[in-house]
Structures are given as structure tokens and as C-alpha cells.
Structure 1
């Protein structure tokens, strides 16, 4: 329940960068109001997930994972766990687990929201209501691929692979936030 309450609080206070993201924020809040289970992966109508756009210390490269189920390069992230104290903690945990990098720094507020259809490990079609944070890696960080990934690579922010969905938009938001 604390994760649900934290997610509602975070999204209630977050100032989206544009009207599209404001509409998404309102939809997330309505979904969260519909059930106290909205952050649990077992909740079949959909569930909140936590992701991280990881940038290197220079801000010139982003770390992407080749997702085994989706078959595309994506930002790091995944399901919230019962032990996660907050949505932000879930995103940082996922980024640390999937990158093998210690000392990651996560921004206090979300960067971007997205909803996408997916079939989770239970085999049931559902939706991920993905809250994405900006995470920065320490200088000289070396990523180590986890078992959750087919591959893990640093990509130049101006040379991303072609099938990366909303990653270019998140990079644009992140670099605009650094100005």
C-alpha cells in the first residue's frame, strides 16, 4: 500500500513537460484511484512499472538493454516489488540490477510517462503504466549485462538504434532538463 500511496503522491505533484504528458499523468492518477492493487504485477487490468533512462556522466551516451521478450532496445526498468519503498526506489533498483553499476544517481521526479500493451510472465495480456526516471551513472562506469537482457550497450544519444520507441523523446527531455 505504501508504494501505491507514494505513486499517487509523486504523480500528483509532478509537473509534466507538455500537454500530452499532463493527459497521461491524469490517466495514471485515475487508474491508481480505481484500485489499491494498481502497482502490483498480478493486477491483470494493468500495473504501474518503473523505468530508468540511464545517461553516462557526460550525458552523451545512454545505456539500453536488448529485451529478450520484446526483441528491441529499451531503457532499463521493470515491475515494482513488494519491498520497494517508493516508485523512485523501484526505478533505481531496476537500473542497478540491470546495469550492474553501483552509485547511480536518480532524479527526484519522473521524466516521462508511457502506457504500452504487454504480455507479462503469467502469459496474460495487460498494460504497463510506465513511470520513467532520469538516472546518471558515475564517470567511468562499466555496465554488466544481467540475465534479464540479451545485450546491454551504451549508445550515443545522437546515434540510437532505429527500433527504440520513445527513447529519443526521453533523451530530448533529459538533455533539455540538463540545460
Structure 2
């Protein structure tokens, strides 16, 4: 099964955010290349909010290009067999934490504009549990990497990250 096929199955099984879910499915039906950065109409991305529920905190990265505190994530790569695998790979690479565990299925969808030539990121968002005693290591994709208490997130991140945290906490 291709990554495109996996994304369609994941989205068909996702039972929330109906309007966005339908938009993502329509995009993939219209764009066979809709999983890849080269698709100028937009493309599916995968991300994961790294969470430490024992200590009530999340790990955010200060994005190098955007200068914003965000969850880990990015573009799908040819070696990714599934959306979940892409999200886990991105979270592992950007956090430096090897033993992350994804919660089953996506917790949220977020569509946001990006600069030309592409127009949209259609982000499929997962949640990743950090193991006990996890030590994060900053990657070259970040300006900073930091743990934030749940109640601090709204002070540093935008509404999409706050919404992702709320949906993640509801899924725990």
C-alpha cells in the first residue's frame, strides 16, 4: 500500500472535523501527488505533539523559518510507509527522543497557508507520549526546544497548537 493510500484510509477512519476531513480526501482524490512537497496545490504533512502527561507538559520546537513555537512535524518522505510513521519520524528527529509512542490515530487536522509555490499544508496531527525520564535534544531544524506546562502553551503558541493540546488531552 502506498503512503497516499494509507492517508486516504486514515482520513476515512477519522471521525471528527468532517469539513476538513472531506477537504483532505477531495485533495487526495484530485492530486495523486498530494502527499509530496512538490504538489503546488498543497500537500499533506504529518506532525506530533510530544507530551509528558506524568508531568503535565508538552515539548515544543521554536521553528527555524517561522520563529513560532510548534509541535514537531513536517513533510512526508518517500521512505514513510504510513502517516503515523511520518509523524513519529518527524517527532523523533526534531525532539531527539528515541522511544516516543504514538497514541492510536490522528487527534486533529489543521489546514494552514504556506508561501508560494505551494499554497497549503494539510496537517494530520498525532500525539506522541514521551517515555519516563526523556531528555530532548535540539535538532538543526529548530532555534530552540523546550518543555512547557499545559497552562503555559496558550502564552507561547498559536491557536492551532492550543487546540492540538486540548484534543490530545481529551484523547488521553
* TM-score of Structure 1 vs Structure 2, range by shorter chain: over 0.9
Aligned to 1:7: 7
The reply on whether 1:144 has 2:172 as its aligned counterpart is: no
> In structure 2, how many angstroms separate the alpha carbons of the residues matched to 1:71 and 1:28?
27
Aligned to 1:90: 86
The reply on whether 1:37 has 2:30 as its aligned counterpart is: no
The reply on whether 1:177 has 2:171 as its aligned counterpart is: yes
Q: 1:63 to 1:127 in 2, by over 3 A?
A: same
**Aligned mate of 2:117, from 124, 133, 136:** 124
Aligned to 2:149: 156
1:165: how far off?
3.0
Aligned to 2:57: 61
SS in 2 for 1:71: coil
Q: Specify every segment of 5 or more residues in structure 2 that has no aligned partner in the other structure, as ranges.
A: none
> In structure 2, how many angstroms separate the alpha carbons of the residues matched to 1:57 and 1:111?
16
> In structure 1, how many angstroms separate the alpha carbons of the residues matched to 2:31 and 2:168?
31
1:33: how far off?
0.5
- Indicate if the aligned counterparts of 2:96 and 2:137 stay in contact, CA closer than 8 A: yes
> In structure 1, how many angstroms separate the alpha carbons of the residues matched to 2:10 and 2:2?
12
> In structure 2, how many angstroms separate the alpha carbons of the residues matched to 1:27 and 1:57?
32
The reply on whether 1:70 has 2:63 as its aligned counterpart is: no
> TM-score when scaled to structure 2?
0.95
1:15: how far off?
1.6
- Indicate if the aligned counterparts of 2:39 and 2:118 stay in contact, CA closer than 8 A: no
CA-atom RMSD, angstroms? 1.3
Q: Specify every segment of 5 or more residues in structure 1 that has no aligned partner in the other structure, as ranges.
A: none
- Indicate if the aligned counterparts of 2:73 and 2:90 stay in contact, CA closer than 8 A: yes
- Indicate if the aligned counterparts of 1:4 and 1:39 stay in contact, CA closer than 8 A: yes
CA deviation profile, 1:40-82 (whole Å, cap 9, x unmatched): 1111110000000110141611110101111110010000001
SS in 2 for 1:176: helix
> In structure 2, how many angstroms separate the alpha carbons of the residues matched to 1:84 and 1:23?
26
